[in-house]
Amino acid sequence: MRLTTQPPNGRPVRKDEIELAERGVYIESWLPERRSRRRPLLFVHGELAGSWLWERWLGYFAARGWEGHALNLRNHFWSRTADPTSLGFASYVDDVVAAIERIGSGVVAIGHGMGGLLVLKAVERVPVAGVVLVAPELPSEVREPALPHELRDVPDVYGRAQIGWETLPEKLVRDHRDLSLADVLRIQHLLGQKPRESGRARREMMAGVSVDRRRLMEIPRLVIGAGLDLHVPEGDVERLADWLGAEYEPFGAHSHYGLVLGEASYLQVAESVRAFLEAHRL
């Protein structure tokens, strides 16, 4: 057990951790003071991120009775360092599958960006109770495959410059109007200054990852898009929701990262997810 914190609404939250030692994967857990019948939540980050991406959501849901577990994929944040060139999209899917198996099939899997596509692939192999996709990368069934020169332009290992975050913070604030300067500086810092993400995983995602949606048809599913998203356009996310037959919630004034960690923007999205969970008794 790590520590106990007191959120603004006065309900204590316990912090813990899970280590999948055989994989070198670390899971950050935020737990309500008392266990409830609510389904556990597994949060899966995207490129260059880690469990830090979900800090506001972890606190929000734990204070309301949900235990939340934020996965760190291999070679991300607190998980064990690994050679990025040895990792691919399938490596990350294996990490998500292992986390679901550790927490249990009653989990609700929540993914952001690449993490959303990882969740879709993991659910092909292991059952979950529900799925929430936040500005997810698209499977091949609803995306145009990248052109050969676009794939060649992705280095074997890349950093925040590849996703547009190696620039002046003031420009990022203008481009992501739901983020404060403090939000932007924090994201830049935690995305890291050194290239460390798997280019192979990104190329595989850009070329097209096919998803079998049959198991998803059996469970509640919510897809969330952002009108200011410079990574995954909101219209593309809506097409994915249609293809999945999922509930769809657009946030026109939100950006890709503002959906989950903007100090002034995350709460509206978290409350929408909470309403979805409660409506489906998850």
Cα gap 99→71, rounded to integer Å: 7
- Residue the block writes with tokens 């008794």: 281
Quote the pTM value: 0.95
CATH 3.40.50.1820, domain 3-279, yes or no: yes
State residue 78 phi and psi, 5-degree precision.
-90, -5
CA angle 272, 255, 128 (to 5 degrees): 45
Contact predicate 95/68, CB 8 Å: no
pLDDT for 9? 53
- Please give, one letter per residue, the 3-state secondary structure of the chain: CCEEECCCCCCCEEEEEEEECCCCEEEEEEEECCCCCCCCEEEECCCCCCHHHHHHHHHHHHCCCCCEEEEECCCCCCCCCCCHHHCCHHHHHHHHHHHHHHHCCCCEEEEECHHHHHHHHHCCCCCCCEEEEECCCCCHHHCCCCCHHHHHCCCCEECHHHHCCCCCHHHHHHHCCCCCHHHHHHHHHHHCCCCCEEHHHHHHHHHCCCCCCCHHHHCCEEEEEECCCCCCCHHHHHHHHHHHCCEEEEECCCCCCHHHHCCCCHHHHHHHHHHHHHHCCC
- Residue the block writes with tokens 């097409």: 239
For residue 268, CA distances in Å to 42, 45, 67, 257 come to 20, 19, 20, 13
Q: Which two tokens stand for residue 33?
A: 């003071």
Instruction: Give Cα 265 to chain centroid, integer Å.
Output: 16
From first to last of its 282 residues, what are the pLDDT tens digits of the chain?
A: 444 444 445 467 899 999 999 999 999 999 998 878 899 999 999 999 999 999 999 999 999 999 999 999 999 999 999 999 999 999 999 999 999 999 998 999 999 999 999 999 999 999 999 999 999 999 999 999 899 999 999 999 999 999 999 999 999 999 999 999 999 999 999 999 889 999 999 999 999 999 999 999 999 999 999 999 999 999 999 999 999 999 999 999 999 999 999 999 999 999 999 999 999 999
Residue 61 half-sphere exposure toward CB, CA atoms < 13 A: 32
- Residue the block writes with tokens 């879709």: 120
Cα gap 17→251, rounded to integer Å: 32
